[in-house]
Amino acid sequence: MTRQTLTIRRPDDWHLHLRDGAMLNGVLPYSAAHFARAIIMPNLVPPVVTGAQAAAYRDRILAALPDGAGFTPLMTLYLTEETDPDDVAAAHAAGIATAVKLYPAGATTNSASGVRDFDKVMPVLERMAEIGMPLCVHGEVVDSDIDIFDREKVFIDKVLHPIRKRVDDLRVVMEHVTTQDAVDYVRDHHKRLAATITTHHLIINRNAILAGGIRPHYYCLPVAKRESHRIALVDAATSGDWRFFLGTDSAPHADPAKLQDCGCAGIFSAPNTLSCLAEVFDAADRLDRLEAFTSLNGPAFYGLPPNEARVTLVKGDPVVYPARIETGEGPVTVFDPGFPLHWRVDGA
Ligand code: DOR
Ligand code: ZN
């Protein structure tokens, strides 16, 4: 096979779960190896709510970095009905918090302190709009009478659109979009609205979770949808459109927490994400748009310069990644894309 290479600006991950303690130590090196910056999710137990908590968490991440790693965590604050607009604004002004994360209460892992009554968070959202601080949104309703496969679409109509109308200037990132409906909504409402797309939602559809046996390692939230939605996501990601960028949502859980009667949601893709993405863009014949998705569109939305450093991806014989990594909290299974990965990150 002829050797093919692709050099792009060093990527950023605009949605990442690093956890804390032994799990943080175990997973951080994999993101730091390939990414320059990442938006760090605040759904710890207890959640990262205040500026002081975000500063302390940032320090723990920096302390856990391998020597010489050039990795900057961009912190988020977990929005609660008690969040103080002044604290949010101060954390933003001090460079401690880049964004605020909205979890509808009960939507996903550790979201119990999230928002039930959106009226209660309006003062925070209004202040964020004033200072230009983005809101990262987990876009799923939680009502038990709404089918889990419809929860993103219903959220757009019932929650997201009304909020964006009430706080017109708010900058919003719809996180980990999984549906054609979300892609269409973002494309049709281009004012101050963007979306992240995960690696795994570009690769799996709901058959991966359920057909031929139940596969807990493909279970995440929002849950993967039918194939037509996956195709819409690939189309958006590979389009070069500035509104779509990478947020891996790499979300490690130790295997025993996934493999039980009620297993946790989350897919750990940090080690092989770039190889997976290069494969997806190559298959779509859009390798020339990979850099926009991984390295240019995100910084542009967040008002940051793209990274100066470059990474080179090399195509060759399939790369084998470990099926799982060991952490101080137990083994964590690595996302299996289900096809061979021919692209590797040079030098990593
Ligand atoms: O699959 C998911 N895992 N989705 C989320 O929204 C949260 C995440 C986690 O924290 O494990
Ligand atoms: Zn997440």
* H or E segment to which residue 273 belongs: helix 273-283
Record the tokens describing residue 39, joined without a space: 């938006």
Q: Which of 87, 241, 249, 336 is catalytic?
A: 249
The C-alpha atoms of residue 220 and residue 201 are separated, in whole angstroms, by 10
Q: How close is the Cα of 101 to the center of ligand 2, in Å?
A: 10
Q: CA torsion sign, 216 to 218 to 224 to 228?
A: negative
CATH code, domain with 295: 3.20.20.140
In the numeric block, which tokens belong to residue 114? 């999230």
Phi, psi dihedral angles at 258 (to 5 degrees): -85, -35
List C-alpha distances in Å: 329 to 73, 219, 236. Answer: 22, 20, 36
Mean of the per-residue pLDDT values for the chain? Answer: 96
> Which of 221, 250, 269, 335, when mutated, tests ligand 1's pocket best, judged by the most ligand atoms within 8 Å of its CB?
221
Pocket of ligand 1 (CB under 6 A): 17, 43, 108-109, 138, 220-221, 251, 265-266
Q: Tens place of pLDDT for every residue, the chain, 348 residues?
A: 556 999 999 999 999 999 999 999 999 999 999 999 999 999 999 999 999 999 999 999 999 999 999 999 999 999 999 999 999 999 999 999 999 999 998 877 778 889 999 999 999 999 999 999 999 999 999 988 999 999 999 999 999 999 999 999 999 999 999 999 999 999 998 779 999 999 999 999 999 999 999 999 999 999 999 999 999 999 999 999 999 999 999 999 999 999 999 999 999 999 999 999 999 999 999 999 999 999 999 999 999 999 999 999 999 999 999 999 999 999 999 999 999 999 999 976
Q: What are phi and psi of 238, to 5 degrees?
A: -90, 5
Q: Which domain holds residue 111?
A: 4-345
Give the pTM: 0.97
**Nearest residue to 197 (alpha-carbon basis) of 233, 242, 172, 160:** 233
Tally of domains within the chain: 1
Sign of CA dihedral 289, 290, 292, 298: positive
Cα–Cα distance between 348 and 346 in angstroms, integer?
6
